[in-house]
Structure formats: C-alpha cells, structure tokens
Chains A and B, each alone.
Chain A
C-alpha cells in the first residue's frame, strides 16, 4: 500500500564503493524527484523526471546518476562514494498535469559512507 517506496532504508558502505537506491511510486504520478537532506536537515533537490524525461538536474557531482526505466520508477546510482555523500536521500513524486503540485515523499534512505 506504500505510495512512494525507497529501498534500502539504511545503507552503510565504504568510501569508493558504488551503490544504488531504488524508488517506486504506485500513485500514477508523472513526475519524480530525488532530494538530499544533510545533517542540518537542509533539503536540496538533485534531480527531477517528468514522464521519464529529465527536467531538473541541479549542480551535483556527476558521480550521481538518476535512471528512470518507466514513469513509476526513479533510481539513483552513486559512483565512487565519498564521506560527504553521507545524508538522507528522499525520493518523491507529484501528480500529473502541471508543476507546482504537492510532492509525496518516500521514507528516505539514510546513507552513511565510512
């Protein structure tokens, strides 16, 4: 029944590794997002896809690559993980039609790089 689900919920990994976070939404939404929340709770958008097309690509290292195989999925792959990548990553989706609609968030993935 979960509307926006992310896996895994927790991820602990060593520096230099490559990891992926998966996101799926069953709301029929057209737009999906990845946000990063740092240790001070500050939220920053990373990417957004609308109907599988990249529409927002903020200044993030190119080690981060989103992949949207279909409208219901938006995965985040991170190469060569660094200590500074430790954060909570949130996936979200918003209803079709227009921008400016509310976003529904997943539970978050707490990534710890050691």
Chain B
C-alpha cells in the first residue's frame, strides 16, 4: 500500500531559524517518485522538487535542501535561515512508477514569526 506521513501538523519558528519538515513514505515499488509542494496563504500549490527512487543524492536549492534516505523511507525538507515568506503549508507526495496518481501527505503548516 502507498502512504505518505507528515507527522508534524504545525511548526512555528522565529525568522532566521533553520527548520526541517519530515516526510515518511510507504511503497512496495522499487521505482517511485517523491515530491514536495508549497501552498502559501494565497492558496495556490507550487511545485518544489521531484526525486526518483534511484537518486539518493541530497539536493540544495538556495535556502532549501532535501534529504532522501531510502533506508528510513524518508524525504525530509530543510529550510535554512527561514523567512516570513516561507510561511505556508508544505506537502510531500509519492507516485509509483507508471502511475499518474499522486499520494499526498496531510501537509505541515509552517509558521515563521518575525
């Protein structure tokens, strides 16, 4: 069965702190894809990253970084030196090879206080 768990419902930090959002997934496939999306207060869903199961290299994009560990079935997202504009709901999602359907986590609401 496919499942994505984002155990942190809400995280609140002060600006400039680093914050990590956890994502744990379950799948029986050996080939799968993991995603992160951001939903700011304005409501749109913004694609952040896509990772396939054969690529365990960590990814860094500016202040954002992602740590993919197959051994623990996790795909965690870290924001370094957080800013108020990072406040949003962040979703982790999974799709198995050849499957158009995304399985979504419940989302983590991130609040960055000035």
Residues of A within 8 A of B (CB): 31, 33, 40-45, 48, 50, 55-56, 88, 90, 92, 94, 98-108, 110
Contacts and interface: CB of A to CB of B under 8 A. Distances in A.
A102 B100 contact: no
B43 A100 contact: no
Contacts, number: 60
Contact of A48 (B44, B52, B101): B101
A107 B43 contact: yes
A99 B47 contact: no
A101 B50 contact: yes
B98 interface: yes
Query: Closest 9 interchain pairs by CB?
Result: A105-B45, A43-B104, A100-B33, A99-B100, A102-B47, A102-B50, A41-B107, A100-B95, A107-B44
